[in-house]
Amino acid sequence: MPGAATPPPYGGYAGVGAPPPYAAATYGAMGPVGPGGAPLASYGLRLGGWLIDAVLLWVVAVLILWPLHAVHRTHDNGTTHGMTIHTGASGIFIPAIIVILYGMLFCGSNRGQTLGMMIVKVRVVDANGGGSIGMGRALGRAAFEYVMAAIIFIPWIVDMLFPLWDQRRQTLHDKVTNSVVVRV
């Protein structure tokens, strides 16, 4: 019909062409959406998946480190108080390798999910296209998060809280690897 207004392209962005890859998330019925229209994962879902993975990885690390005598029970006057991880080479490097390989292998797969992410039904995807981030980017994502947690603790806290105020609900390790976490 002559004189009728043409709607803006790409779901409401005014101007010519697709929105830039760094544009703010669009909003759907379930909140902000990522690439392909999948809803972005809430902070609570992300935190839940991370906590499940943290417990799982702690158990795996203890089971591996115990026979290496890198985990010790602490005793005082005949009562057990807990466990400590020895800070020798095996107590430092083995947990790092476990955590980084876990993040790389699971997040870098076509599925894009760790076991914790599977339970809470979220996955990590490329921020632009919505596909798998691949093993290389997943390695960078896991290594960046681990280094932040192990070496510079306060910035890691900021990293983990970042989705609370970020429009795309990204952590800093998501931003470094151009990934987002979406609901499945």
Question: 126-170, pLDDT tens digit by residue?
Answer: 999 999 999 999 999 999 999 988 888 899 999 999 999 999 999
135 within a domain of the structure (yes/no)? yes
- Distance CA(94)–CA(89), nearest Å, equals 8
- Distance CA(100)–CA(2), nearest Å, equals 59
When pLDDT is averaged across residues 52-78 and rounded to a whole number, the result is 77
Query: What are the b/e assignments for 132-155, b being 16+ CB within 10 Å?
Result: bbbeebbbbbbbbbbebbeeeeee
Cβ distance 84 to 74 under 8 Å?
Answer: yes
116 within a domain of the structure (yes/no)? yes
Domain range for 147: 35-183
- Please give the share of the chain, as a percent, with pLDDT higher than 70: 70
**Is the whole-model pTM more than 0.85?**
no
What's the pLDDT at 64?
A: 82
154 within a domain of the structure (yes/no)? yes
When pLDDT is averaged across residues 46-55 and rounded to a whole number, the result is 97
Q: Which of 5-19, 80-94, 123-137 has the lowest mean pLDDT?
A: 5-19
150 within a domain of the structure (yes/no)? yes
First to last CA, the chain: 40
108 within a domain of the structure (yes/no)? yes
Count of domains in the chain? 1
74 within a domain of the structure (yes/no)? yes
51 within a domain of the structure (yes/no)? yes
Q: Is the pLDDT of residue 22 over 50?
A: no
Helix (H) or strand (E) holding 68: none
